[in-house]
Structure 1
Amino acid sequence: MNSSNPERVTLAITGASGAQYGLRLLECLVAADRQIFFLVSRAAKVVLATEMDIELGDTAEAIEQYLTDRYRAAHKQIRVFGEDDWMSPVASGSGAPSSMVICPCSTGTLSAIACGLSNNLTQRAATVVLKERRKLIIVPREAPYSEIHLENMLKLSRMGCVMLPASPGFYNRPETVDDMVDFIVARILDQLGIAQELMPSWGSHSL
C-alpha cells in the first residue's frame, strides 16, 4: 500500500468541542474498510472524557487497542501515533496518506496550520498534506468566529483546504443528536469520495 493510496486516511481530533463528530467519522471509516492513522491531542482527551465519558488511555498502544475493540476494526486498521512521534508516516510526504481530516479542529490548531507551524504531529501532518498538494478537510468548531479565525480559514481555503464547519442542517428533520452528528460526518465522507448512507443527497427523494 503506497503513501498516496486512497484507502488510507489521517484523522486528527483536537481539543475543540464536538468529539462525537470525530469518533463517528472514525467508525464510518472503519466500516468503509479504510486504514486510519489516528492522532489525538491531550486537550482532545479531556474533551472526550467530558463530552462522552471516554478515557482513551495514556499511550498510543492503549488507545489503539481501545479503538480497535470499540469499533471492531481489523488488526492494525487503526494506527495511533503520539503527538511527538516524528518518525510516524504522517510526518513525511513520502509516507503520508492522500487525505487528512481534522475533526473537530480547534481554532488554535487552525491558526498553527495557517502559519505553517509544526509544534505537534497534527500540525506537522497538516503541513505535509498541504505541501504535497493532497486533500485537507478541516472541521472548525467555534462560535462566534473572530476576524482572526475567518482570515485563517480564508488563507487555508485559498491553498485548497476544505473548510467544513460543524454546522448541521435541519432539512432532514433530525430527531436526535446522533442525527445531527451524522449530517456533518456524511458531508465529510462525501468530500473524501467515500460512499455513505447516513444522509441522502439533496433532491434524491425526487429521483
Structure 2
Amino acid sequence: MLQVDFACSMVGGGVLGNGLVQEEILFLMNPELIVARLFTEKLTDNECLKITGAQQYSEYVGYSRDFKWKGPHSEKLPRDGWERLHRKIVAIDALNFKNPKEQYQKHKIRRELNKAFIGFKEEGKPDKLPAIATGNWGCGAFHGDSILKALIQMMAAAVAQRDLVFFTFGDRHLEDAVWDIYTHLRDGKKTVGQIYDFLAAYCHQVAYGEKTDLRRSLKCAL
C-alpha cells in the first residue's frame, strides 16, 4: 500500500520536539524518514514528498499522550530490484483551519483536492498500483471536517485511478458515514465533476449561513 503521511508543510512536524501525532509517530517508527528534513523545503500547494523503502524499526501503542514504545519491529517486507523495501509513503500537508468554517470555501476545497491528487497520482497501469492507505487527513489538530476530508480523498483517488483503504481506527460513526456516502455515490454512478459542483453549491450555502449536515445534503442533492 501507499501510506499517507498526514504531514506538516515542513515534513516531520514536531518529530524532533514535542509532537506525537500521526506524522511524528511515523517518523519515529521509521527513523530514516527524519533524514528527509535535511533536504526537503517547505511543501507548497502543488508539492508532495514520496519516499520508497523506509525501514520500520519499532512497534508502538497509543497516540499522543498515550503513546508508548512497544518493542522492536521485525521487518518482513520483500525488496525490489534496487534492494529497497516494498514500503511507499507520501507526505501531503492539509490546510490548518484555525477557524473551521474556512474549510467550506471553494478555493480551499480545490487546494485540498489538488494536494491529495498530487500525492495519489502515480505512473503505471492502475491495476498494478498499490492501494492508498489513509484516514482522517487534516482532521484533529488541523480542525478538518472528517466527512469532507474523506470525500475529498475519495474524489482524488478516483481521478488518480487508485484504490483507497480508509482507516477509521474504531470510530464506528465515521465508518458508517463514509461507507454510506461511498455506496450512495457508487450506486448512483456519480462523477467527480458532479460531486465538485455539489461542494461548490454547499460552500455557497455555508457562506450565507445555511450550513446543513454535509452527508445529508449530499444524499439529497445527488
Is the TM value for this pair above 0.5?
A: no
Q: Give the structure with higher Rg (CA).
A: 2
Question: With structure 1 as the length reference, what TM-score do the two structures score?
Answer: 0.35
Q: Under a length normalisation based on structure 2, what TM-score does the superposition of the two structures give?
A: 0.33
- Compare relative contact order (CA 8 Å, sep 6+) and give the higher one, 1 or 2: 1
